[in-house]
Amino acid sequence: MNQTEAFKQRIDAALGNQQVRDNFRKAMDGLMDKRAEALQDPEELQYLRDQAAAVRAYALANLPELLEQLEQRLLANGIEVHWAQDGAEANRIIYGIIDQAGGSTVVKGKSMVSEESGLNDYLIERGIDVLESDLGEFIIQLANEPPSHIIAPAIHKNRHQVAELFQRFFPDEVFDADDIEDMTALARRILREKFARADVGISGVNFAVAETGTICLVENEGNGRLSTTAPDIHIAITGIEKVVARLEDIPPLVEILTRTATGQPITTYFNLISGARKADEKDGPKQVHLVLLDNGRGEIHGDADFIDTLRCIRCGTCINHCPVYVQMGGHAYGTVYPGPIGIVLEPQRQGIDRIGALTSACSLCGACGEVCPVEIPLPQLINQLRAEAVDAGRSRSRVHGKGSLRKPRESAAWKLWSLLYANPVLYRSFRFLATRLRALSPKNTGPWTRYRSAPRPAARSLADLARQDGFERD
């Protein structure tokens, strides 16, 4: 099956599940409302967006130097630095650290980058006990499903579906299956023991500060702090684009991140880690490692048409506001990152020939570009990827799989159209024929007429009618 057919099947499956669609609708409406409430002053919002976009663009323009500075500062702070070109290399590095320390249990804080590399499966196959500790991630790990949203991974499940999972996996625990607080308390009990015993904690990274060698983590639950503080070893994994130049770049970024993502003035915890346990300190990890993962980012960075993709701070706001995402949910995309940012990022990461069909899951309404806190021109990038997919021949981009979705009939149709519209004689003949032979226009035009009636040319063209009313020229 080709990727377009496979994508259509995933969409059909998603649209057929009314329960899941209701869950998404409710959650996305809630997230949009909270954001609107938290960012009521349009001038303040625009100032924050401009500032955040400038900070990220500056970092990308100086990325190699900042990564070197980050590495040097981290090493000076006692944090080990590892570089990985792809997910497989990152997995090997992380397993190597765990294995060398004789570790067997891992608690994990949320990390989308680790989803890119399939880290959990890799470690589990090698006998490591890996437990996701963010409540949403914990739920979907039980369900053996990937995240359906980058900041709310279990958003496709309602409380009853979560309760069923808990009953299945923890049959001895007593809890009220209708009470979210009770289920939260259950997760606390179960995970607390794991935090106390885990050998290794793994986390993602929200921002890495080159100036000070600092890893910044944003979270509400405390699982991120526990994963990075309680075990003897902390391994953080990040994409190479997450670095910023200066500590003073952090306040505007964290402010717009939390306000735009969930409408919170700030998350419960903002955790800035700049070292391992020092000799006189009594807790904290004895080793801290940072894995810098490229995994296609270097290619995107070198592509002037698409480098803005890398400004992304993974807030999920474009996803929350996407009218296509809200209908079909995160799993239909079949990729790590769903929604508008997924449509832009995944075909660049994996190649248009593998996943370019995602670009069709967009109505070009422009909402994502309007809300993006770092002003990524998402609608323009989606549109350009569509052009790249059929090799419309107007770009210097080097995105993989260019032209792989080009169809001979479609491309012939557009060639004919441009010929007709460029030549007045041909155009007038076409207009004459189309109006006079309108009875012959097809009633069935495939997917278009599945839910709509077929378009039919008018009996007389606008130009004819105008001339009839006394207008002289065509």
Q: Which stretch binds other proteins (CB under 8 A): 52-60, 122-130, 331-339, 373-381?
A: 52-60
Identify which of residues 15 and 272 has a Cβ nearer to other proteins in the complex: 272
Determine if 266 is a binding residue for other proteins (CB under 8 A).
yes
Question: CA-to-CA distance for 366 and 324, rounded, in angstroms?
Answer: 12
Number of H helices, E strands in the chain: 23, 10
Q: Between 151 and 371, whose beta carbon lies closer to other proteins? A: 151
Considering only residues 388 to 447 of the shown chain, the ones binding other proteins according to CB under 8 A are: none
Among 105, 143, 170, 269, binds other proteins (CB under 8 A): 269
The SS3 of residue 271 is strand
Give rounded-to-5 percent helix, strand, coil for the chain: 55, 10, 35
Q: Give whichever of 147 and 347 is closer to other proteins, judged by the CB atom.
A: 147
By CB under 8 A, tell whether 373 contacts other proteins.
no
C-alpha 272/C-alpha 117 separation (Å) is: 25
**Least distance from other proteins to the Cβ atom of residue 349, Å:** 14
Q: Contact with other proteins (CB under 8 A): which of 283, 422, 450, 451?
A: 283
Check residue 157 for interaction with other proteins (CB under 8 A): yes
- H helix runs in 101-242, sequence order: 112-117, 119-125, 135-143, 159-169, 180-197, 223-229
- State which of positions 286-345 bind other proteins (CB under 8 A): 292, 294, 298-299, 301-304, 307
Tokens of 304: 């002037």
How far is Cα 456 from Cα 474, in angstroms, rounded to an integer? 22
Annotate each residue in 211-250 with x if it binds other proteins (CB under 8 A) or - if it does not, as one string. Answer: xxxx-----xxxx-xx--xx-x-------x----xxxxxx
302 or 323: whose CB is closer to other proteins? 302
- Segment lying near other proteins (by CB under 8 A), choices 170-178, 261-269, 404-412, 458-466: 261-269
- How far is 264 from 443, CA to CA, in rounded Å? 52
Per-residue exposure over 414-439, b if at least 16 CB sit within 10 Å of its own CB, e if not: eeeeeeeeeeeeeeeebbeebeeeee
Of residues 63-122, which lie at the interface with other proteins (CB under 8 A)? 63-64, 67-68, 82-85, 89
Calpha distance 311→291 (Å, rounded): 19
Instruction: Give 126 or 159: the residue with its C-beta nearer to other proteins.
Output: 159
Contact 109, 204 (CB under 8 A): yes
What is the per-residue binding string for other proteins in 160-189, x denoting contact by CB under 8 A?
--x-----------------xx-xxx-xx-
CB of 404 to other proteins, least distance (A): 23
